[in-house]
A and B are shown apart, each in its own frame.
Chain A
Amino acid sequence: MSKTDVSRRGLLRTGAVTAGGLALPTIFTAQSASAFTNDPTGGTVTLGFNVPQTGAYADEGADELRAYQLAVEHLNGEGDGGMLNTFSSKALEGNGILGKKVEYVTGDTQTKSDAARASAKSMIEKDGAIMITGGSSSGVAVAVQGLCQEAGVIFMAGLTHSNDTTGKDKKANGFRHFFNAYMSAAALAPVLKNLYGSDRKAYHLTADYTWGWTQEESIKAATEALGWETVNTVKTPLAATDFSSYIAPVLNSGADVLVLNHYGGNMVNSLTNAVQFGLREKQVNGKNFEIVVPLYSRLMAKGAGENVKGIHGSTNWHWSLQDEGSKAFVRSFGTKYGFPPSQAAHTCYVQALLYADAVARGGSFNPCSVVEALEGFEFDGMGNGKTLYRAEDHQCFKDVLVVRGKENPTSEFDLLEVVEVTPREQVEYPVDHPMFAGGQLGSCNPGA
């Protein structure tokens, strides 16, 4: 017969420990159900600005960073408020985001997907960034967007123009304010028809990566719909610097339009080379030979100097716009930095404000609350007229600018002139458009 010594106090102690032990997983489960990655608990909230600080796009990255710093100032109630004064939503009060002071950390994408992912990961895991934004490349945007989806933070894309960012690579946690290749084509095509007619033969030189491919596909489809014939499409290596051997075959191809699906340094060099070969003075098929640069960047156009004069293209935004939002932003930026902002700066500034506004309207930093607030959100006063963040693919729909290299610039910033503001309706497309097919938006991931 065995004897068991069980005292009342011992039983109570054992029971309490057992109950506590059993409850422990429930406590964790209950906590994680209401939490999300990098939930800001103190008096501050940290945003992660992931921009190219080294490499060929460092100047564009520096302009993005200037815009973000300006946005942080305005969100915290400093400076003149910029676009907060013209933004149609009035949820932001200049007291940070939900009363928390906005702080930021920066990462260097180097315009390389792996480096961009590493810097975004570091900002999320080490610095506690609740949102990642910025970048000057579609390859980077797609890579970082995927990372943010997995990590459970919001990604507000910077400059990314490939259809894929909100097409086959779209993600629920990712949002793009910048326009895309399809929109460029839809805006440019009617202008090209008016200028050059519908009987044209086009030759495409295309940067051999995701953005170039979608740009070529979009422009080709839009111009062929006008009646243009595509004579040839040639992919050029991204690392190419001298395009003379690609330009030379154009001379005898029978083409009378050269479309340069190049951006950044590629665009500067290919356009310079094309002008050197006398293409702009050339007559083919009884018509003046024309060059088109579908995506313009003022910062980069500066590198091509006089060669941009009279060349048509499209852009997301330009500092010379005269709406109240653009004027407010140009005033804030110009006063602080001494020169007008680029389109990259504009889209980054707007993205920072849109994120903060979505948090304020949703009343939470939870990514799923932000997604809900941004999906289908219509706003105005941010420089591109009435804009919609479409729920189905997280792409902004707004007016697109067709621009031309200015013949008589009055300053080093006055390189492009707006030829036409293409209305939003003209650049819209259905969610299931073949150029955006594949991939699933999925559902938001709050992480944690």
Chain B
Amino acid sequence: MDAFLLQILNGLDKGSAYALIALGLTLIFGTLGVVNFAHGALFMIGAFCAVTVQKFLTLSVETIDPEKTDFLGNPLKVKTPYVENWFGPDIGNAIIDWSVPLAILFAIPIMIAVGFIMERGLIKHFYKRPHADQILVTFGLAIVLQEVIKYFYGANPIPTPAPEALNGVANLGAIVGLDLIYPVWRIVYFCFACLIISGVFAFLQFTTFGMVVRAGMADRETVGLLGINIDRRFTIMFGIAAAVAGLAGVMYTPINSPNYHMGMDFLVLSFVVVVVGGMGSLPGAVLAGFLLGILESFASMEWAINLIPGINQIIIYLVAIIILLVRPRGLMGRKGVMED
């Protein structure tokens, strides 16, 4: 029972990342009609926003400690972060410790700006081109972005830990007498994902801006005829989608140390999530994200691997095939989307 519940938690946690990325992908596809293969790169750039903030906060002044030597036998250069000098060791260390949550504040404007630049600078030129062209150009952009990150940050993963206070484990089953230990940060990540997803849905549902965007998604031409500049709103939505992916990346860094390739690791899975959820369907993307996350977790269990060897590697694709055979438009797909 404990193992079963643990895998559900794992699935929800994995699904959080899938859902956030797939949500952004669907927002872009639903509004601009662009299949954005650079979306994984946005997730990766978000993660590197956290790395950058951490590096920035640990910028240090070097002093020589004559009593210690470095690996070459020279006097050791001791690094003391500026924030420690400015605010004292306690506050300085606390600021560094909370670098990942602080990075959210940094990542939001950066990711919106990256989204704007990406959309205005490149992707808008491909709106009227076939989806194959859009895929090629955005995939190429993703490769360029990851190589740029590798140039500046190297190929190795960079540890970006969670704050000490959120770094341990919590026994979620203590109340009902179960031994259900789960990492605190992963719980935080799941809650954060739910918050972001709710925020996006509320924004689209309860604001005038969101209403116009939804109308534009349903019938772009008619909204345009009403004199509304839908393109500008869609560009803003691209920025918001980029921010969602970026925030997913920021918060993911304590779960796995970020590296330049992490966007690609999520990209294909996220596209499968979008297709399974239904192209253009925001609730579908979220539902499919969590569903496939849970299925992937269960497929990693021993009994599943013993039953069907290799199931842990193919489960998502297998389920995608089955769902598309049974429901060609995906779980919550809309009629007419990508069917022309």
Contacts and interface: CB of A to CB of B under 8 A. Distances in A.
A245 B302 CA distance: 10
A277 B170 CA distance: 9
Interface string A231-263: 010110101011011101101100000000000
Nearest to B252: A242
B71 A330 contact: yes
A304 B71 contact: no
B328 interface: no
B70 A269 contact: no
Contacts of B134: none
5 contacts: A248-B297, A277-B169, A304-B257, A319-B71, A410-B68
Interface residues of B, number: 45
Q: Is the interface of B mostly helix, strand, loop or mixed?
A: mixed
Interface string A378-389: 000000000000
A57 B168 contact: no
A226 interface: no
Contacts, number: 120
Interface of B: 2-3, 6-7, 10-11, 13-14, 68, 70-72, 76, 150, 154-159, 161, 168-169, 179, 181-183, 185-186, 255-257, 259, 261-262, 265, 296-298, 300-302, 305, 312-313
Nearest to B5: A248
Nearest to A276: B183
A299 interface: yes
A302 B181 contact: no
A252 B169 CA distance: 15
Contacts of A94: none
A410 B76 CA distance: 9
Nearest to B161: A305
B169 A242 contact: no
Interface residues of A, number: 48
A304 B255 contact: no
A299 B14 contact: no
Q: Is the interface of A mostly helix, strand, loop or mixed?
A: helix
Interface string A314-353: 0000011000000000110011000110000000000000
B186 A276 contact: yes
A23 interface: no
Interface string A28-60: 000000000000000000000000000111110
A355 B263 CA distance: 41
B150 A58 contact: yes
A272 interface: yes
A377 interface: no
A265 B168 CA distance: 22
B158 A278 contact: no
A57 B183 contact: no
Contact of B3 (A55, A235, A249, A414): A249
